[in-house]
């Protein structure tokens, strides 16, 4: 018993001494292994690697861990996102921006503009995977944020005047007739787009430009 | 006396010729003579010796001491309990019960650890014929020397010697003419407590140091006795020695000792003690303590028969050794330890309302439960009677054990008048089987519930009526704007013990109505408030759920104990930290604020604890869903080794708490912590060292920081998980103490709750990312202490400022923002850079009731005890962002930015006053300047608060508080920086029984709350529409 106790005590003293030494060494100037992130190059290419199967879809936050996401650690919030959107040099950059905003704050607006960035990217690179992902994102706006709106500046009325535009309707428009928006077709024809919406449980009124849920 | 005088006067001077004035003068002369005679006719107690041995005689009559060690310690109280602070009526009720039973048993003398006031000594003697030994403890547990409390009495110190001697001489002066005093006794095993250090003896070999100290002790004994005899020669003097250690020194140094008193625990026989004393120092012997506990540590159950058998054997031997029986003849009796169980003996300040079964020392003389290597002396079970239930007068009933019955038969014998063969036969023929059966029946009848397999043990019924209102509603609707609601609640307590090793208790809570309140936004019982489920999709609209959670298990505790281990399952019962048991980093938080938890219907602590004994000594395993309030589901393993000088502790979270433990406190990520602790005494300094690795799960997590004007990103590495802590403490002078501490902790090396002691307000933090130094000196001047302290802390990495993101060409300037503990591996919060200094002055003339004990408000016995403290803290840097729990989203959310740099301060005072036995006042006063604990941007607040509670006649309780510009009473008020210009509370309650305990007594009361509002409470203020609110509650509670 005594020998065991002595051995235990000796081991404990050794470990404590080691811990003290480790701390003292840690206080000494160590080799700097940090990365300077004062400036990060934004992507200007059109090849997007989807980091996970639901990147940029609803609450999936995997985009925050995507090493190619320049906005992962940036100060993206409800105010700064607009400035950063305007300054983003490419659709790919805009995708990362809005997906980051979505991961941090799951709102219909963030989801819609993520979808729009994917749609924009597909328009440029015709990547089917991107097209499918854009459709996932659009559907997420309808399924998860159906009643959400975005605010459009009513510049013809005056400064700081905004009107609300239902995001579901914008999804319908983007899917049914994206051409006026400068975006490519997601379906061979707009009937297929209506069918897809119907399959999801929604009806797009082509006359009024509004979407309703099938009860 | 008056009749005697007048008869005498009439007879001798009845001549009608004697004029009245002469008769008056004669009366005066005779009265004086008779009074003088009666003063001289006080008891004369002396030990006398002839060839047949020693006897004690009182006024010439033989007196064999048939004594018990007596004290009155109710359940829930300890050595600080003062019976004589109660009313005379209550004291008499207690004494009548106790001494009535003693008299029936044949007890003729008591010995006490306290001092019974002279009038009660006389009362007990005149009413029950029982005498008292006046026992001064002779500084055994510390002494007040020239106003300074010295915990380890130094008998070599001249000032100490004089102080003790003076105190005893005063005592002798006080009691010399008190009827009922048998003798004076000095000390209690002082020879076992010779712990002081001094330069004169430190150079001696260890074995010799104690002997030198003993010489000082015994020389002082004799010096005192000699001078005391000059005051009172009518009573003998003895000491209370631990066994007969240092008998040679006693003989050499105590020539004036009349009787040798000693505490002896040798088992059923006192072996060669009688012969040793007769040979070395031929004095009569009185055992000031002897006896046996009534708990069998081997079988883990009460064992009345073993106790009774041992006591029978001891008394038979004592009679054999008394005068005229052919042996040494030096036994003059003894005091059985003890009259009644005391539930405070194990741990002394904890678990006072539970009778602990733990054996705290070993003695092979008690063979009935002795096992080599194990303790078998159960200190809380020494009584020849038990503490029973409380009666209607508030007196705890004494329930005799079998030993009481056996001793009654033994004490009915006068060993000086009955032959040895006769009393031997009588004692040996005591029908032990019958008395054992009788004691079993008695146990079943009176204490049956204590041993029942299952029983309801009590409970309470309470009700309340609540009026609420605010100015906005009253302005709008008049009296119809005042809300009224009622509430009812029942608690039912149950206990169970299906077999010896397993026992437990639980409480069921049942709710009737639940009142709606406005100021008291959360209270226990709110779980049953209606729940409205919002359903936008439903045609029928919202759904209201009523009647939910009306019945719940409020708490439970189950303990299983055998010789190898103990296992306890606990649910919402108080649990203590391990801060004094090797948990240097405070990983296990204390969970005793049940009232605070009940407000949020929190159920912590909740878990199971295993404690190893025989096969796994030193091992403790604790696991559960929430082992302290706010804990993640976790397991903790602690191993004490190296003679308890070392502790290895590992805590592992095995999940994450699903929701906030209160309304808004954020949940924490899973992590693990491992610590190693060492404590050693080196050259008079206590050295404590600890190392920790924590949050290894965060290794590889990235974080950013500002380095000059550059933003950098790094990741958590192994060195960021390490912490090292050291503390040195050392006695300074006789009673003061200095300490110095240091902590270095890596970025994510988060610990637990540091120990907060002696009223400190230093800004401790459990979080890592710091280099910290603290220190202080506790100057102890006996009745008052002064404690200046400081704490200086620097961060390894400061909080992040806010730098907005922007784009330059095709380059993103990501900016930087304050961290938070949800999105980042660490954040600078309570561990922010700080320079803090404080000083606390404490006045406590009765240091035996520690002012900083957790229940001091109830136990403090000084006329006035108080402290005054001032703390000033500089926070030169900002913090990162705090989190709060967002109930609707069931997620943690960040405030977004941190608290500003600021200097804060706090002045406070706590007071306890007992101006007389019928009045007790506890009061607090505070003024300060401080910040919120979460929401940034608000102003730092200057606030004031005062509160007091007065208990009058143990029946009427008045409580109030007044706060100006202070945060509301809940944590979220400070978290969200919600303050009120004025908050007032007044509460009156009437206790309906004689318990006089605010928690335990049945009561009726009324409470009023009022507050004024301003923009700092926006939800209630409603932009000025509402300027005040009130709440009035009448309540009753019946405990049974």
Partner residue facing A75 (CB), from B691, B744, B817: B817
Contact list, A39 vs chain B (CB under 8 Å)? 808, 811-813
Q: Is residue B80 part of a domain?
A: yes
Closest by CA to B669, choosing from B645, B688, B694, is B694
Q: Quote the minimal CA–CA distance from B680 to chain A in Å.
A: 11
- Interface contact A37-B690, CB threshold 8 A: no
Q: Of B711, B715, B722, which is closest to A37 when you measure between CB atoms?
A: B711
pLDDT of residue B35: 47
- Kindly tell me the burial class for residue A3, based on how many C-beta atoms sit within 10 Å of its own C-beta (0-12, 13-18, 19 or more): exposed
Closest residue in A to B537 (Cα–Cα): A215
Residue numbers in B near A80 (CB within 8 A): 804-805, 815
| Mean pLDDT for all residues in chain A | 87
Distance (Å) from the alpha carbon of A136 to chain B's nearest alpha carbon: 24
Least-confidence region, from A3-12, B85-94, B544-553: A3-12
| Partner-chain residue, chosen from A22, A38, A70, that has the shortest CB–CB distance to B711 | A38
The answer to whether residue B530 sits within a structural domain is no
Beta strand ranges found along B477-542 (DSSP E): 483-499, 502-511, 531-533
pLDDT of residue B12: 44
Q: Which two tokens stand for residue B300?
A: 């883990």
- A42·B810 Cβ contact <8 A: yes
Two tokens, residue B295: 């708990």
pLDDT above 90: percentage of residues in chain B: 67
Altogether, the residues listed in chain A come to a count of 215
B790 in a domain, yes or no? no
- Which residues on A lie below 8 Å from B679 (Cβ)? none
Q: Which chain A residue has its CA at the smallest distance from B808's CA?
A: A87
Q: By C-alpha distance, which of B979, B918, B924, B984 is closest to B953?
A: B918
Choose among A22, A38, A71: nearest Cβ to B710: A38
Q: Per mean pLDDT, which of A20-29, B156-165, B754-763 is the most reliable?
A: B156-165
Query: Which chain A residues are closer than 8 Å to B817 by Cβ?
Result: 75
Q: Is the CB of residue B468 less than 8 Å from the CB of residue B487?
A: no
Q: Is residue B922 part of a domain?
A: no
Least Cα separation, residue A36 to chain B (angstroms): 4
Question: Residue B644 falls within a domain, yes or no?
Answer: no
| Chain B CB contacts of A100 below 8 Å | none
What integer pLDDT is reported at residue B530 of this predicted model?
Answer: 81
Specify the higher pLDDT residue, B632 or B893: B632
Instruction: Flag whether pLDDT at B347 surpasses 80.
Output: no
CA angle A56/A59/A64 to nearest 5° reads 60
Domain boundaries, chain A: 62-213
Could you tell me whether strands B285-290 and B331-336 are parallel, antiparallel, or unpaired per DSSP bridges?
Answer: parallel
Average the pLDDT over B871-881 and give the result.
Answer: 96
**Residues B407-421: pLDDT tens digits?**
999 999 999 999 999
Which two tokens mark B526?
């709110």
The span from the first CA to the last CA of chain A, in angstroms, equals 78
The model's pLDDT over B517-534, given as tens digits with 9 standing for 90+, comes to: 989 888 899 988 887 776
Does residue B195 share a domain with residue B70? yes
Q: Which two tokens stand for residue B844?
A: 């406590």
E runs forming strands in A44-167:
149-153, 162-166
CA distance to partner chain B, nearest, from residue A160 (Å): 23
Interface of A with B (CB under 8 A): 5, 8-9, 12-13, 15-16, 18-20, 22-23, 25-27, 30, 33-42, 44, 70-71, 73-76, 80, 83-84, 87-89
Domain-located, residue B114: yes
The reply to whether residue B811 touches residue A75, judged by beta carbons under 8 angstroms, is: no
Tell me if B805 and A76 make a contact (CB, 8 A cut-off): yes
Structure-model confidence comparison of residues B301 and B725, the more confident one: B725
Substitution target from B615, B808, B814, B889 for chain A, most A beta carbons within 10 A: B814
CATH code for the domain of B337: 3.20.20.80
Q: Which of residues B450, B480, B510 is at a domain's end?
A: B450
3-state secondary structure B675-712: EEEEEEEECCEEEEEEEEEECHHHCCCEEEEEECCEEE
β B109-111/B131-136 pair status: parallel
* Mutation choice for A interface testing from B810, B818, B824, B892 by most A CBs within 10 A: B810
The C-alpha atoms of residue B706 and residue B712 are separated, in whole angstroms, by 6
Average pLDDT over residues B930-938: 87
Helix (H, G, I), strand (E, B) or coil at A190: helix
B272 and B327 in a single domain? The answer is: yes
| CB atoms A23 and B817 under 8 Å | no
- Nearest residue in chain A measured CA to CA from B747: A26
Other Cβ atoms closer than 10 A to B537: 4
Residue of B nearest to A72 (CA): B814
Q: How much is the average pLDDT of B338-347? A: 91
* SS3 assignment, position B466: strand
CA dihedral B207, B209, B210, B213 (to 10 degrees): 160
Instruction: State chain B's mean pLDDT as an integer.
Output: 89
Q: Is the pLDDT of residue B177 over 70?
A: yes
The nearest CA of chain B is from the CA of A82 a distance in Å of 11
What is the least distance, in Å, from the CA of A33 to any CA of chain B? 7
Both B106 and B205 in a single domain? yes
Residue B877 burial class via C-beta count within 10 angstroms: exposed 0-12, middle 13-18, buried 19 and up:
middle
Choose the closest CB to B676 out of A12, A74, A87: A12
Give yes or no: residues B21 and B145 share one domain. Answer: no
Q: Are residues B6 and B87 in the same domain?
A: no
Residue with tokens 């990983």: B587
Whether B33 and B74 map to the same domain: the answer is no
Closest chain A C-alpha to B693 CA, distance in angstroms: 9
Does residue B285 carry a pLDDT above 90? yes
Q: Are B814 and A35 within 8 A, CB to CB?
A: no
pLDDT per position as a tens digit, B445-468: 765 545 567 889 889 999 999 999
Question: B679-712, pLDDT tens digit by residue?
Answer: 998 888 999 999 999 999 999 999 999 999 899 9
3-state helix, strand, coil in chain B (%, to 5): 20, 40, 40
Rounded to a whole number of angstroms, the distance from the CA of A167 to the nearest CA of chain B is 19
| Span A188-194, average pLDDT | 93
Which of B450, B476, B503 marks a domain boundary?
B450
- Residue B344 CB partners (closer than 8 Å, separation 6+): B73, B77, B78, B79, B352, B380
Q: Minimum mean pLDDT among A146-150, B80-84, B493-497, B1023-1027: which range?
A: B80-84
What are the chain A neighbours of B722 within 8 Å (beta carbons)? 19, 22-23, 26
Of B642, B714, B806, the CB nearest to A34: B714
Same domain? B11 vs B86? no
Mean pLDDT in residue range B879-891: 87
What does the block give as tokens for B565?
A: 């281990």
Residue in A22, A72, A144 to test binding to B, most B beta-carbons within 10 Å: A22
Cα B867 off chain centre by: 19
Are the C-beta atoms of B73 and B81 separated by less than 8 Å? yes
B341 within 8 A of B385, measured Cβ to Cβ: yes
Q: How many domains is chain B partitioned into structurally? A: 2
Query: Is B637 among the domain residues?
Result: no
Does the pLDDT value for residue A4 go beyond 60? no
Please check whether residues B353 and B407 belong to one and the same domain.
yes
H-helix or E-strand containing B351? none
For residues B286-296, average pLDDT: 96
For B646, the closest of A8, A30, A87 (CB atoms) is A8
Q: What is the pLDDT of residue B9?
A: 44
Of B645, B715, B809, the CB nearest to A9: B645
| Token pair for B769 | 């990312």
The CB density around residue B550, as the number of other CB atoms within 10 Å, is 14
Asked, for residue B499, whether it belongs to a domain, the answer is no
In chain A, what residues touch B692 (CB-CB under 8 Å)? Answer: 19
Q: Which residues of chain A have a CB within 8 Å of the CB of B641?
A: 5, 8-9, 12
Question: In terms of CA atoms, which chain B residue is nearest residue A4?
Answer: B642
Q: In this predicted structure, what is the pLDDT of residue A3?
A: 57
Are B332 and B47 in contact by the 8 Å Cβ rule? The answer is yes
pLDDT score recorded for residue A77: 87
Per residue in B46-97, pLDDT tens?
Answer: 999 999 999 999 999 999 999 999 999 988 888 888 899 888 989 999 999 9
B155 with B14, same domain? no
Give the DSSP H/E element, type plus range, for residue B674.
Answer: strand B672-682
Shortest distance between the Cα of A13 and any Cα of chain B, in A, equals: 8
Nearest-CB residue to B814 (from A5, A20, A73) = A73
Q: What is the mean pLDDT of the segment spanning B116-145?
A: 94
In whole angstroms, what is the distance from residue B108 CA to residue B102 CA? 8
Token readout for B709 is 């004007």
pLDDT at B159 (0 to 100): 92
Rounded Cα gap, residues A138 and A56, in angstroms: 11
Q: Considering only CB atoms, which chain B residues are within 8 Å of A9?
A: 641-642, 645-646
* Cα separation, B956 vs A38, whole angstroms: 68
Q: What is the ipTM of this complex?
A: 0.82
Residues 6+ apart with CB under 8 A from A198: A214
Residue B186 to residue B190: CA distance in whole angstroms: 9
**pLDDT digit string (tens) for A67-118?**
999 999 888 988 899 999 999 999 999 999 999 999 988 999 999 999 999 9
Distance between CA atoms of residues B1032 and B1009, nearest Å = 6
Tell me: do B72 and B164 sit in the same domain: yes
- B997 has pLDDT over 80: yes
pLDDT value at residue B79: 84
Residue B849 tokens read as 């009731």
User: What is the SS3 assignment for A68?
Assistant: coil
Residues of B in contact with A3 (CB under 8 A): none
Domain that holds residue B10: 2-40
């Amino acid at each position: 018993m005594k020998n065991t106790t002595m051995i235990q005590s000796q081991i404990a003293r050794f470990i404590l001494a080691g811990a003290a030494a480790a701390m003292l060494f840690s206080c000494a100037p160590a080799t700097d292994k940090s990365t300077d992130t004062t400036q990060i190059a934004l992507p200007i290419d059109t090849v997007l690697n989807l980091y996970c199967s639901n990147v940029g879809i609803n609450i999936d936050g995997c985009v925050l861990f995507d090493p190619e996401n320049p906005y992962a650690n940036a100060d993206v919030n409800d105010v700064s996102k607009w400035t950063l959107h305007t300054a983003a040099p490419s659709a790919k950059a805009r995708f990362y921006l809005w997906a980051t905003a979505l991961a941090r704050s799951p709102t219909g607006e963030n989801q819609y503009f993520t979808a729009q960035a994917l749609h924009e990217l597909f328009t440029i690179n015709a990547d089917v995977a991107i097209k499918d992902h854009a459709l996932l994102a659009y559907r997420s706006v309808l399924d998860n944020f159906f009643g959400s709106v975005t605010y459009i500046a009513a510049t013809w009325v005056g400064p700081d005047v905004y009107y609300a535009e239902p995001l579901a309707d914008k999804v319908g428009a983007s899917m049914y007739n994206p051409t006026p928006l400068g975006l490519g077709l997601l379906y061979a024809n707009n009937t297929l787009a209506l069918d897809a919406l119907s399959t999801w449980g929604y009806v797009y009124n082509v006359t009024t430009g509004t979407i309703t849920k099938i009860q | 006396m008056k009749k005697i005088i007048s008869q005498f006067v009439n007879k001798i001077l009845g001549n009608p010729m004697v004029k009245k004035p002469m008769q008056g003068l004669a009366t005066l002369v005779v009265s004086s003579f008779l009074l003088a005679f009666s003063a001289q006719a006080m008891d004369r107690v002396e030990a006398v010796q002839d060839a047949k041995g020693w006897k004690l005689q009182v006024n010439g009559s033989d007196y064999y001491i048939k004594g018990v060690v007596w004290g009155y310690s109710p359940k829930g109280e300890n050595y600080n309990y003062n019976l004589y602070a109660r009313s005379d009526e209550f004291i008499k009720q207690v004494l009548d019960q106790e001494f009535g039973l003693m008299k029936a048993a044949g007890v003729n003398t008591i010995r006490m650890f306290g001092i019974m006031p002279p009038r009660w000594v006389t009362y007990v003697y005149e009413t029950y014929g029982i005498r008292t030994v006046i026992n001064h403890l002779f500084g055994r547990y510390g002494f007040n020397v020239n106003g300074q409390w010295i915990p380890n009495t130094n008998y070599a110190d001249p000032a100490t010697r004089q102080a003790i001697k003076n105190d005893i001489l005063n005592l002798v002066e006080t009691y010399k003419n008190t009827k009922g005093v048998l003798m004076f006794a000095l000390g209690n095993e002082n020879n076992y407590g010779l712990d002081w250090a001094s330069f004169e003896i430190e150079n001696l070999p260890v074995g010799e140091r104690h002997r030198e100290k003993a010489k000082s002790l015994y020389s002082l004994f004799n010096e005192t006795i000699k001078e005391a005899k000059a005051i009172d020669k009518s009573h003998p003097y003895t000491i209370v020695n631990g066994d007969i250690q240092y008998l040679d020194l006693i003989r050499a140094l105590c020539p004036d000792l009349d009787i040798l008193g000693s505490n002896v625990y040798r088992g059923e026989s006192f072996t060669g003690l009688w012969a040793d004393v007769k040979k070395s120092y031929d004095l009569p012997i009185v055992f000031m303590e002897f006896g046996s506990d009534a708990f069998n540590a081997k079988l883990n159950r009460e064992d009345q028969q073993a106790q009774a058998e041992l006591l029978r054997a001891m008394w038979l031997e004592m009679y054999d050794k008394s005068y005229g029986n052919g042996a040494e003849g030096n036994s003059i009796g003894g005091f059985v330890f003890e009259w009644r169980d005391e539930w405070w003996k194990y741990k002394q300040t904890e678990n006072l309302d539970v009778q602990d079964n733990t054996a705290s020392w070993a003695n092979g003389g008690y063979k009935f439960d002795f096992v080599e290597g194990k303790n078998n002396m159960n200190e809380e079970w020494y009584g020849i009677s038990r503490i029973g239930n409380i009666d209607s007068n508030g007196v705890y009933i004494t329930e005799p054990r079998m030993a009481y019955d056996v001793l009654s038969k033994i004490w009915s014998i006068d060993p000086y008048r009955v032959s040895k063969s006769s009393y031997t036969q009588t004692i040996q023929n005591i029908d032990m089987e019958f008395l054992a059966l009788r004691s079993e029946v008695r146990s079943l009848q009176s204490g049956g519930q204590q041993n029942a397999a299952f029983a309801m043990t009590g409970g309470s019924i309470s009700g309340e009526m609540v009026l609420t209102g605010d100015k906005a509603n009253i302005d709008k609707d008049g009296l119809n704007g005042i809300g009224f609601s009622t509430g009812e609640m029942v608690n039912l307590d149950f206990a169970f013990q299906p077999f010896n090793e397993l026992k437990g208790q639980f409480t069921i809570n049942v709710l009737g109505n639940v009142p709606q309140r406005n100021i008291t936004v959360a209270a226990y019982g709110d779980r049953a408030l209606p729940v409205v489920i919002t359903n936008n999709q439903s045609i029928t609209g919202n759904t209201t759920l009523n009647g939910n959670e009306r019945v719940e298990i409020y708490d439970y505790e189950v303990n299983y104990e055998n010789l190898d281990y103990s296992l306890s399952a606990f649910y919402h019962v108080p649990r203590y930290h391990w801060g004094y048991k090797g948990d240097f980093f405070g990983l296990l938080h204390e969970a005793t604020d049940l009232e605070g938890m009940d407000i949020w219907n929190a159920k912590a602590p909740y878990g199971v604890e295993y404690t190893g004994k025989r096969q796994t000594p030193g091992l403790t395993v604790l696991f559960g869903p929430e082992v302290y309030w706010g804990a993640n589901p976790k397991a903790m393993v602690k191993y004490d080794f190296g003679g308890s000088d070392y502790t290895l502790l590992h805590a592992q979270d095995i999940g994450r708490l699903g929701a906030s433990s209160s309304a808004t406190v954020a949940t924490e990520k899973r992590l693990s912590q491992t610590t190693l602790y060492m404590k050693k005494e080196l050259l008079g300094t206590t050295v404590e060292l600890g190392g920790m690795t924590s949050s290894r799960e965060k290794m590889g997590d990235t974080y950013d920081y500002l380095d000059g004007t550059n933003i950098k990103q790094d990741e958590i590495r192994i060195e960021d998980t390490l912490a090292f802590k050291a503390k040195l403490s050392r006695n300074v002078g006789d009673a003061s103490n200095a300490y110095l501490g240091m902590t270095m902790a890596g970025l994510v090396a988060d610990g637990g709750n540091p120990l907060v002691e002696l009223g400190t307000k230093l800004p401790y933090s459990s979080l890592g990312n710091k280099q910290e130094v603290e220190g202080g000196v506790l100057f102890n001047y006996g009745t008052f202490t002064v404690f200046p302290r400081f704490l200086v802390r620097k961060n390894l990495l400061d909080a992040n400022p806010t730098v907005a993101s922007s784009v330059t060409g095709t380059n993103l300037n990501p900016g930087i923002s304050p961290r938070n503990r949800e999105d980042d591996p660490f954040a600078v919060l309570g561990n922010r850079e700080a320079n803090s200094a404080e000083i606390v002055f404490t006045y406590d003339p009765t240091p035996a009731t520690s002012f900083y004990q957790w229940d001091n408000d109830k136990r403090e016995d000084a006329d006035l005890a108080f402290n005054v403290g001032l703390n000033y803290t500089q926070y030169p840097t900002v913090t990162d962002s705090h989190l709060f729990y967002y109930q609707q989203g069931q997620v943690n959310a960040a405030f977004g930015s941190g608290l500003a740099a600021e200097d804060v301060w706090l002045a406070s005072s706590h007071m306890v006053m007992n101006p007389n036995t019928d009045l007790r006042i506890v009061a607090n006063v505070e003024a300060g300047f401080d910040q919120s604990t979460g929401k940034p941007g608000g102003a730092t607040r200057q606030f004031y608060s005062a509160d007091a509670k007065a208990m009058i006649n143990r029946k009427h309780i008045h409580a109030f508080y007044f706060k100006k510009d202070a945060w509301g009473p809940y944590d979220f008020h400070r978290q969200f920086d919600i303050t009120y210009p004025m908050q007032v509370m007044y509460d009156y309650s009437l206790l309906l029984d004689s318990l006089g305990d605010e928690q335990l007594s049945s009561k009726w009361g009324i409470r009023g709350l009022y507050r004024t509002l301003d923009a700092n409470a926006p939800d209630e203020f409603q932009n000025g529409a509402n300027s005040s609110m009130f709440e009035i509650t009448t309540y009753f509670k019946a405990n049974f």
